[in-house]
Amino acid sequence: MAQVGDIEYTKPTSLASTATRRLLYLGAGHVFVALGVIGAFLPVMPTTVFLILAASCYARGSERFYRRLMAHPTFGPILRDWREHRSMTLRTKRIAISAVVIGFAIGFVFIPLWWIRVLHLSAGAALVLYLASVKTRG
């Protein structure tokens, strides 16, 4: 464990072997952070999943950005909790599943083509099944 201020974090697994790969991981990490921030404001987009992907990319692309994300006052605790337990609290799981169901139901109403509705509902069902399959803690 390393420490940033008064927050401990696990060091990144290992940086990519070439500068090009590190740059690609860094760019992907930035994209996933942007999507995660957008997801914090839109009920259909998952915030935590994108931030977990960002942390994974940063762990391979930039130790500095990895440390900053893990030490972030809002997102850091969520990421550290996921890294340590690989589980969700029952409350978090209920909120996530409810948000997905409500968001996808609203989207379903506004989709005019039946085949896009089927794809939309399939994506929503897959997301709910994934969330339900994640281990529940406390």
What does 62-92 look like in DSSP terms, one character per residue?
Answer: -HHHHHHHHT-TTTHHHHHHHHHHS-EEHHH
| CA–CA separation, 53 and 49 (whole Å) | 6
pLDDT tens per residue across span 30-56: 999 999 999 888 876 778 888 999 999
- Domain containing residue 38: 2-86
Q: Provide the mean pLDDT of the chain.
A: 86
Partners of 111 in the β-ladder:
none
pLDDT at 2: 54
Considering the domain architecture, whether residues 34 and 55 belong to the same structural domain is answered as: yes
Element (H, E) at 24: helix 19-41
Considering the domain architecture, whether residues 119 and 82 belong to the same structural domain is answered as: no
Considering the domain architecture, whether residues 81 and 94 belong to the same structural domain is answered as: no
Minimum mean pLDDT range among 22-36, 61-75, 78-92, 109-123? 78-92
Is residue 60's pLDDT more than 70?
Answer: yes
Is residue 9's pLDDT more than 60?
Answer: no
Please give the tally of structural domains in the chain.
2
Confidence of residue 26 (pLDDT cuts 50, 70, 90): very high
Contact in structure between 69 and 31 (CB atoms under 8 Å): no
Considering the domain architecture, whether residues 72 and 93 belong to the same structural domain is answered as: no
Contact in structure between 7 and 76 (CB atoms under 8 Å): yes
pLDDT at 91: 84
Is residue 111's pLDDT more than 60?
Answer: yes
Considering the domain architecture, whether residues 11 and 76 belong to the same structural domain is answered as: yes
Considering the domain architecture, whether residues 61 and 105 belong to the same structural domain is answered as: no
pLDDT at 108: 92
Contact in structure between 1 and 71 (CB atoms under 8 Å): no
Confidence of residue 4 (pLDDT cuts 50, 70, 90): low
What residue has token string 């897959």? Answer: 126
What residue has token string 């935590």? Answer: 48
Q: Which of 86, 102, 125 is the last residue of a domain?
A: 86
